[in-house]
A = this chain, B = another copy of it.
Amino acid sequence: MADETTGGRPPQLDDVQESIEDQLSVGASAAAATELAALRPPDQADVLEELDAPSREALMGELSAEALADIVEHLGAETAAELPGLIDVASMAQVLDEAPPEVAADVLRAVEWEIARGILAQMTSHRSVARVLLYADDDAGGLMTPDVIGLNENISVSRALQILRDSPLPHQKKRQLFVVDPAGTLVGRIGLSELVFAPAGARISDVMETDVISVETGTDQEECARIMSRYGLRSLPVVDRNGVLEGAVAIEEMVRVAEDEATEDMLKMVGTAGDEKLTGPIRNSIRNRFPWLLVNLGTVLFAGVLVSLFEGTIERLAIIAAFIPVVSGQAGIAGTQTVTLMVRSLALGDVSERDSRGVLVREGVLALVQGVVIASLLGLVVWVWQADFSFGLIVFAALLGNLILAAIAGVLVPLAMRALNTDPATSSAVIVTTVTDSFGILIYLSLAAIFISTLNVG
């Protein structure tokens, strides 16, 4: 299901789509299937996804188990989960037997457990699929393919080549080979190229790379991505707690993980979830976004209550109200910049706890420098506009103070979230803007209330 989030439908596909839909509408499903077969599997999946359910069912009836297996890998989770409803259990088992076990596991995860068990029972590759199903789909165990070749360290290179030649695995799973001891424990790795061009008489243990990095089955996908990226691995072996080779995570999964994690961080910061689609059902969107809107209603109402406390001051001088959105809004923007950089830097490992003091000082200095300029500018505007120097000074002081607070909150809130074992993306942005809103109103209206007698506007 690697393609679900990486779309990029080629424009010329629209013509084929139309032609296939036309043929299906007149019942020519065999002709439609022929046209579909001329496409590459990811494009076939795309065309199927766009069809309505009856057309999709008619077209699928024309496809062989092998052809469906090629397609199923590229279907979105939602469409793949509909498959068992469109074709019978025995055909479904046949399709999934043809697909790689990690893809079959993804499909089975998406359907109800009763149905999944029925399909699994009729599959011949049920053992390797069940092995992947044991794990959460965002753990190394759930991401890995169990189809890896573990060569015994004691065999010869020519014996190893014979094993590879006889292996039923597809070619792309023969590119990276692992080496195990007689107990199955991972002890090394070797690329096909190194093996092919090794001296003929050599043993595997002579030519393997012994510095092999591996993860345990329970390792989180983000951690897997970090290790693969850092050490330039195309394939990360996965072992059980005894070090026995269980499978390997392929680099293709990591491109998806990198996109997923980034999307997730980005959407979490505004209070919705990474799995929300603008083309999905509305109830999912409500479930994702509504709680956040409620939380924010609380925080903006709190700001409203703070303003109401200064009702007397505003009554005496209504123009004061005009600069509430200015002081709060400007610091909110600055705080959001800092908090976004912090969240992303923490996620990518660019900034760690031990850098935090330096980053705090840096952002504080930056806020002071930028703040003096921005706040002076605003103060000047207020002075000239309202012809009142004291008023300008109050707005200057309130904005400068709030900008420095925004920087401090922008650095500390994500660090605090992480220290509390909460994802820094989830709540940092709303906490920081609540802080800048509230503090902005408090400091500005307090200063205004204290110095109102010195003001000559109004």
- Asked if A159 is at the interface of the complex by the 8 Å CB criterion, the answer is no
Which of A277, A314, A351 has the most CB atoms of chain B within a 10 A radius of its CB? A314
- Asked if A5 is at the interface of the complex by the 8 Å CB criterion, the answer is yes
Do residues A318 and B314 form an inter-chain contact, with CB atoms below 8 A? yes
Distance in angstroms from A15 CB to nearest chain B CB is 13
Which of the segments A127-135, A186-194, A416-424 contacts the partner chain? A186-194
Closest B-chain residue to A222, C-beta based? B8
- Asked if A324 is at the interface of the complex by the 8 Å CB criterion, the answer is yes
A211-B43 Cα distance, complex, nearest whole Å: 14
Do residues B304 and A358 form an inter-chain contact, with CB atoms below 8 A? no
A48-89, CB < 8 A from B: none
User: Given the complex, which residues of B lie within 8 Å of A345, measured CB to CB?
Assistant: 277-278
Do residues B303 and A326 form an inter-chain contact, with CB atoms below 8 A? yes
Digitize A264-294: 1 where CB-to-B-CB distance is under 8 Å, 0 elsewhere. Answer: 0111011110001111001001100110111
User: Given the complex, which residues of B lie within 8 Å of A290, measured CB to CB?
Assistant: 370, 373
Do residues A8 and B349 form an inter-chain contact, with CB atoms below 8 A? yes
Digitize A327-371: 1 where CB-to-B-CB distance is under 8 Å, 0 elsewhere. Answer: 011100110110011101100111110110011001101100110
- 11 interchain pairs, CB-CB under 8 A: A5-B348, A9-B349, A171-B194, A234-B251, A266-B344, A290-B370, A293-B334, A301-B326, A301-B381, A311-B322, A315-B315
Digitize A187-206: 1 where CB-to-B-CB distance is under 8 Å, 0 elsewhere. Answer: 00001111011000000000
Distance in angstroms from A315 CB to nearest chain B CB is 4
Digitize A170-191: 1 where CB-to-B-CB distance is under 8 Å, 0 elsewhere. Answer: 0110110000000000000001
Digitize A301-316: 1 where CB-to-B-CB distance is under 8 Å, 0 elsewhere. Answer: 1011101100110110
Closest B-chain residue to A434, C-beta based? B329
Do residues A42 and B258 form an inter-chain contact, with CB atoms below 8 A? no
Which of the segments A105-113, A140-148, A150-158, A224-232 contacts the partner chain? A224-232
Distance in angstroms from A175 CB to nearest chain B CB is 6
A110-B366 Cα distance, complex, nearest whole Å: 26
Do residues A252 and B232 form an inter-chain contact, with CB atoms below 8 A? yes
Do residues A7 and B300 form an inter-chain contact, with CB atoms below 8 A? no
Do residues A349 and B7 form an inter-chain contact, with CB atoms below 8 A? yes
A348-B193 Cα distance, complex, nearest whole Å: 35
Contact residue among B192, B194, B225, B351 (Cβ-Cβ distance under 8 Å from A196):
B192
Which positions in A face B, CB cutoff 8 Å? 2-3, 5-9, 14, 40, 42, 161, 164-165, 171-172, 174-175, 191-194, 196-197, 211, 225-232, 234, 251-252, 254-256, 258-259, 262-263, 265-267, 269-272, 276-279, 282, 285-286, 289-290, 292-294, 296-297, 299-301, 303-305, 307-308, 311-312, 314-315, 318-319, 321-326, 328-330, 333-334, 336-337, 340-342, 344-345, 348-352, 354-355, 358-359, 362-363, 365-366, 369-370, 373-374, 377-378, 381, 437, 441
Distance in angstroms from A208 CB to nearest chain B CB is 13
A348-B227 Cα distance, complex, nearest whole Å: 24
User: Given the complex, which residues of B lie within 8 Å of A441, measured CB to CB?
Assistant: 325
Q: A277-B350, A319-B308, A355-B279 are in contact. Are A8 and B227 (CB under 8 A)?
A: yes
Do residues A282 and B191 form an inter-chain contact, with CB atoms below 8 A? no
Contact residue among B193, B285, B315, B330 (Cβ-Cβ distance under 8 Å from A296):
B330
Do residues A300 and B279 form an inter-chain contact, with CB atoms below 8 A? no
Contact residue among B297, B301, B315, B340 (Cβ-Cβ distance under 8 Å from A266):
B340
User: Given the complex, which residues of B lie within 8 Å of A289, measured CB to CB?
Assistant: 334, 337, 366, 370
A294-B277 Cα distance, complex, nearest whole Å: 34
User: Given the complex, which residues of B lie within 8 Å of A337, measured CB to CB?
Assistant: 270-272, 289, 292
Do residues B8 and A362 form an inter-chain contact, with CB atoms below 8 A? no
Do residues A311 and B319 form an inter-chain contact, with CB atoms below 8 A? yes
User: Given the complex, which residues of B lie within 8 Å of A352, measured CB to CB?
Assistant: 7, 9
